[in-house]
């Protein structure tokens, strides 16, 4: 059974700092790995999706990497801003339908 872990559960950084969020998964046989953002009381917004054949994906100040052999993915946020404050979740998808496993998230606070 796939398990997805995100450590730390919470992170507080000053504005402008570059930061890395971590995601670990136990079963490397994944179809893809996705990063989401969740604002308080809201649903999830997809940020980046990395296919199993890819090593990384970039969107603006965000860069996500995937290392299947070590069971790890990282989300790099450059030049953090207060608007980046949210909970970030990763989700691992196996080769199949609907069986996505979500991590518990890292709550990020960027202090002005």
SS3 state at 59: strand
Q: How far is the CB of 26 from other proteins (least distance, A)?
A: 13
Total chain residues near other proteins (CB under 8 A): 24
SS3 state at 108: strand
φ/ψ region of 51 (left if φ > 0, alpha if ψ in -120 to 50, else beta) reads: beta
Q: Which is nearer to other proteins, 18 or 104 (CB)?
A: 104
Q: How far is the CB of 104 from other proteins (least distance, A)?
A: 5
Contact between 64 and 74 (Cβ < 8 Å): yes
List the one residue from 93, 106, 108, 110 that touches other proteins (CB under 8 A): 93
Q: What is the DSSP letter of 36?
A: E
Name the site residues for other proteins (rule: CB under 8 A): 4, 9, 31-32, 34, 41-46, 89, 91, 93, 96-105
């Amino acid at each position: 059974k796939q398990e997805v872990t995100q450590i730390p559960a919470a992170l507080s950084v000053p504005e402008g700092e570059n930061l890395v969020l971590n995601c670990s998964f136990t079963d490397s046989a994944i179809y893809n790995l996705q990063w989401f953002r969740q604002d308080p009381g809201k649903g999830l917004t997809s940020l980046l999706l990395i296919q199993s054949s890819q090593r990384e994906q970039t969107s603006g100040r965000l860069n996500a990497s995937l290392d299947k052999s070590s069971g790890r993915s990282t989300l790099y946020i450059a030049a953090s801003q207060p608007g980046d404050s949210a909970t970030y979740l990763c989700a691992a998808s196996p080769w199949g339908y609907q069986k996505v496993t979500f991590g518990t998230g890292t709550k990020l606070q960027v202090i002005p």
